[in-house]
Amino acid sequence: MSFTDFMERATKTFEVIGVGILAIGSLVAFVRFLVAGRTDRWRVAYGRLRNDLGRAILLGLEILIIADIVRTITLAPTITNAVTLGIIVLVRTLLSFSLEIELEGVVPWRYAEAKKSGAIAAEE
């Protein structure tokens, strides 16, 4: 197996894992929502659903970024592909950043301060 073949397989593996995390994480989030909705109030269950979906999306995006980086660095290291990678990483980073704020309710650099002051709940 050549280096290129190995890197193509590695990239595909990261992509499959990333998409799997998105799909399975979403499915688990919806199942938890339905179960929690039956025992808790639906409003509380909805909040948990949003958090669970957000976490699945964040993790899936991180894995997909790895696949993009590996592909660009090892398989097609051209200026055009590097710029495309930069744009993809920028968009995904901004999406991850906004999801993180949505989930935690505070910008990341204020998280420790907010947690210490009790403005946000401790992790489950």
pLDDT digits (tens, 9 = 90+) for 43-92: 888 888 988 998 899 899 889 989 988 888 887 788 888 888 889 888 88
User: What is the pLDDT, as a whole number, of residue 23?
Assistant: 97
Q: Which residue has the higher pLDDT, 92 or 118?
A: 92
User: What is the pLDDT, as a whole number, of residue 108?
Assistant: 74
Q: Using one digit for the tens of pLDDT, what is the confidence trace for 9-31?
A: 999 999 999 999 999 999 999 99
**Distance from the first to the final alpha carbon of the chain:** 44
User: Is residue 46 domain-resident?
Assistant: yes
Residue 59, both tokens: 């993790």
Which ranges of the chain would DSSP assign to H, the alpha helix? 3-39, 42-70, 79-104, 111-117
User: Is residue 122 domain-resident?
Assistant: no
> Would you tell me the crossing angle of helices 79-104 and 42-70 to the nearest 10 degrees?
160
Predicted structure pTM score: 0.74
Residue 12 domain boundaries: 3-117
Please name the amino acid found at residue 116: K
User: Is residue 49 domain-resident?
Assistant: yes
User: Is residue 39 domain-resident?
Assistant: yes
User: Is residue 123 domain-resident?
Assistant: no
User: Is residue 70 domain-resident?
Assistant: yes
Number of domains the chain contains: 1
Residue with tokens 């909040």: 47
> Would you tell me the crossing angle of helices 3-39 and 42-70 to the nearest 10 degrees?
180
User: Is residue 31 domain-resident?
Assistant: yes
Please name the amino acid found at residue 68: D
User: Is residue 78 domain-resident?
Assistant: yes
pLDDT band at 124 (very low <50, low <70, confident <90, very high): very low
